[in-house]
Structure 1
Amino acid sequence: MPLETKRLRLRALTPDDLEHLVALHGDREVMTFITGAGEPREVVETQSLPALLRRRTWAIFHMATGGFLGWASLRIQGDEAELGYRLVRAAWGQGYASEAVRAVVGLGFGELGLARIWGQTMAVNSGSRRVMEKAGMAYLRTFHLEWDDPLPGAEHGEVAYALTRADWRAG
């Protein structure tokens, strides 16, 4: 069943979305804080798409134009889920990510009955941090991971955010 917001329509991601993902994941700027480089088609086809299909992942479309804007996902583990999202550059800075994430979080706590939703990003990724904050998620901690080939900014660490169902209901 699709989710709808004021400006967006979210529906289950399918293998038919491959071309959308090739363009999205192939954009080096979109992937700056993830891999530092765009993903080649073969990686999207054999790794990224299958991984997203194993999660609850929604393709995000603009309600008025029907244009593909990105995806949002919940990687469910018991009564918790890790939030993920990625949007095309043309959709950045317009509130679409926050709108989509709020819809997915609402579904996670409502229909799916999750107790907690969390996410993480590089500390220097201010855009992603803002999306999680606008979705009601609270900063938990900064932590440092070991990387063989760290991305620029990795020295500042990763940040974790989370929201519980009780806090979501109270908000």
Structure 2
Amino acid sequence: MDVRLRTDRLILRRLSPADLPAVTALCGDPEVMRYLEDGRPMAPARVAEEVLPALLREYDRLPEVLGCWALATADEPFLGWAALRPAHSVGLETGPAGGLELGYRLLPTAWGRGYATEAALALVRSAFVELRADRVVATTMAVNSGSRRVLERAGLRHVRTFFEDWPDPIPGSEHGDVVYQLTRTEWSAGAGN
């Protein structure tokens, strides 16, 4: 197991081809996908042919401490994933000034147990301590209150709401998407550590 980080309860490790069934279950769950992409579960073939291979390629393309990391505990081999990578999502500034983007996706059985917040805090700390990043950013749908709470608990603050003209809008998109961020200065001053 290629471990990236350990927290009090979590192991953040590299994904592997053996995670295909778990990643397929994660991306195929209607509740998980409700606020993501087109709001619908992904077909298993898409996960096998596109999603997991793209995540695995990131380990070769990005610096060693960036990428998408499987979340596990001593008793549960896969709860979902958490990611830290160069900002790339719609609504975020990209390139060197864009900062590092935080993301996470957990199975419903892991919701409400603090795992997303625990992983987010660990990755935010890593961004500022190990990588000396200037800022960490994230985006989610405005109506995704669960994800917004995780970002706030990780120290990020809401900086703006934007409206995108999505080709196939999903319920809630009329309320827009939100951008959150935490700067290294804010984190160092105690906002997020």
Give the TM-score category using the shorter length. over 0.9
Look up the equivalent residue of 1:66 and give its one-letter code: E
How large is the Cα RMSD of the aligned pairs? Answer: 1.5
The yes-or-no answer on 1:130 pairing with 2:130 is no
Instruction: Considering fraction of residues, name the structure with more strand.
Output: 1
Specify the alignment match of 1:61 in structure 2: 72
User: 1:52 touches 1:73 (CA, 8 Å); kept in 2?
Assistant: no
What's the CA shift for 1:15? 2.7
Deviations 1:133-162 (A, max 9, x none): 000001001110001110000000000000
The yes-or-no answer on 1:7 pairing with 2:9 is yes
Give the Cα–Cα distance (whole angstroms) in 2 for the partners of residues 119 and 2 of structure 1.
20
TM-score normalised over the length of structure 1? 0.93
Q: How many residues align?
A: 170
TM-score normalised over the length of structure 2? 0.83
What's the CA shift for 1:48? 1.7
What's the CA shift for 1:52? 2.5
What's the CA shift for 1:83? 1.1
**What are the equivalent positions in structure 2 for 1:69-148 lying under 5 Å apart?**
69-76=79-86, 77-78=95-96, 80-148=99-167
Equivalent in 40, 43, 52 of residue 55 of structure 2:
52
Specify the alignment match of 1:161 in structure 2: 180
- Uncovered stretches (5+) of structure 2, i.e. residues with no partner: 59-65, 87-94
Give the Cα–Cα distance (whole angstroms) in 2 for the partners of residues 119 and 47 of structure 1.
23
Look up the equivalent residue of 1:69 and give its one-letter code: L
- Uncovered stretches (5+) of structure 1, i.e. residues with no partner: none
What's the CA shift for 1:17? 1.8
What percentage of residue pairs aligned between the two structures are identical? 51
Deviations 1:28-48 (A, max 9, x none): 110000132111111112222
Look up the equivalent residue of 2:169 and give its one-letter code: P
Give the Cα–Cα distance (whole angstroms) in 2 for the partners of residues 67 and 15 of structure 1.
14
Look up the equivalent residue of 2:41 and give its one-letter code: G
User: 1:25 touches 1:44 (CA, 8 Å); kept in 2?
Assistant: yes
What's the CA shift for 1:128? 0.4
User: 1:25 touches 1:39 (CA, 8 Å); kept in 2?
Assistant: yes
Give the Cα–Cα distance (whole angstroms) in 2 for the partners of residues 84 and 151 of structure 1.
20
What's the CA shift for 1:163? 0.7
Look up the equivalent residue of 1:50 and give its one-letter code: P
